[in-house]
A and B are shown apart, each in its own frame.
Chain A
Amino acid sequence: MNYKELTVYNYKIVYYALRIFGLYWLLIQYLNFKKISEWPKDIYEPFLSAQRLIFPSYPSEILFASILVSCAVLLVITIFKQNYFLNFLIFIFIAIINLPISLNFSVGHHNHLIIIGYFMSIFLLPKNLTNENDYKWVQYFYLGLLATYSMAGISKFLGIAKNLIKGTDKITWLDKNAAKINTLDNYWMADIKVPNWILSLYEYENFWVIITVFAIIIQASSFLGAFNRKYLTFVMVFLYIFHWYTDFFVLADFQNAKNFVLIALFPYHLLYPLFKRNKLLDDQLLK
């Protein structure tokens, strides 16, 4: 397969993988919902005032479970019947489901990538991706996902530039021990003792300056993955490790985003010889 073919091929698998992943994600949201349900009813603080229009108080189990089940039904239906409008509804449902989970007290970014993933895939139905030039639209799908990381990376460069130009005494990512202080401060605020293995890794002070700059460059340039399959695979591995790092070193749990990165960006075409042996899968996906 050439680049154009394999890009379309990969998306066709992503389409189905997103639906299976979606069911898993709904289950995790249910568990998160249950946990927050145990909090006293009075301490519900929606981040956006518009949230009160949908959930004036923290949703009841019946209401929230109905929304989850409706979304699950749509995910299953669209496995068999590809439809733009149903895709749009899935996006709306996922965005609504995320509200009481991630936008209570503050705004949590850990599900953003997933919401954007369903948003970017609204108009991409495998059955209609028949033309060789359809790879362009898949590139936009990747671009939509990766732009979020690029923006986060570029904003770090801007942060560094601003502090250097203004000559502030703030610590920037270029400073020795920047990553270490980032870790210590996050652990300090959460009252958790920093594990010794993390502290001993931070003893390599100069190594961390290099790795931090390297990571910011990859993060900022991750959008380029939309145009080059090999770079996309590299970015996928990088983002996976990056999320793993933030989980352990910054206590920012991006568990679902981490899995989503793998599912959405995976080089499925490498497994093509395996799929080819399975006639059914091959017929489903490539025709």
Chain B
Amino acid sequence: MQKYTKYLFITSLLLSLTSLYIIEKGGKEIYPFYSWKLFTSPSGNEKFEEQYRLYNIENNDTIRVLYHPTAIYDENNLGLITNFYGKKIEKRENLEMNIRKMKIFMKSYNPEYKKLILYKEKYCPQDIGKSSFKINKTLITKL
């Protein structure tokens, strides 16, 4: 039966390539045969990049919610989840539900954050670390 390994290889390759094609068309991969189009260009390759960030109002100041690792979330989790719901909220996709989920998520991260505002931040990755670096914020909504 070992000769069938050849067909496993062909299957895996074809499904990975099909995944790639489907993703280009806006679909999702054929699990578990992922596409392997990773880091085709460096992260931050665009002139401007965008991310969704939460701010919290504390004593009339709007403070950017920073990601600190906790017992249950690491920095990547925090960024990923914020961006996930941030995007849905901006697109007004199941708006109420996604706002509720974002609040539940933030409560589990830090219950102190009670007056949250969602912004979309635009920045130039090539300026990170330079004095010219600046963030352009667009208000999406209060949560």
Contacts and interface: CB of A to CB of B under 8 A. Distances in A.
B119 to A, nearest CB: 15
A120 B8 CA distance: 6
Contacts of A115: 32
A116 B67 CA distance: 33
Interface in A103-162: 103, 105-107, 109, 112, 115-116, 119-120, 122-125, 128-129, 134, 137, 140-141, 143-144, 147-149, 151-152, 155-156, 158-160
Specify the main secondary structure of chain A where it touches its partner: helix
B32 A112 contact: yes
A120 B31 CA distance: 15
A159 B41 contact: yes
Nearest to A185: B44
Contacts of B78: 190-191
Given A170-B46, A179-B42, A185-B43, A107 B34 contact: yes
Interface residues of B, number: 58
Contacts of B28: 47-48, 107
A55 B41 CA distance: 34
B36 A163 contact: no
Interface in B34-57: 34-47, 49, 51
A151 B9 CA distance: 14
A190 B79 contact: yes
Contacts of A148: 16, 34, 36
A3 interface: no
Contacts of A251: 75-76
B38 A155 contact: yes
A191 B72 contact: no
Interface in A172-197: 172-173, 175, 177-179, 181-182, 184-186, 188-192, 194
10 contacts: A38-B71, A40-B105, A43-B101, A106-B80, A151-B37, A156-B41, A170-B47, A172-B41, A179-B42, A186-B44
Given A137-B6, A159-B41, A194-B129, 19 more contacts: A40-B105, A43-B105, A95-B32, A99-B31, A112-B32, A116-B33, A119-B32, A120-B5, A134-B2, A140-B9, A144-B8, A148-B34, A148-B36, A152-B38, A171-B45, A179-B42, A185-B49, A188-B123, A191-B68
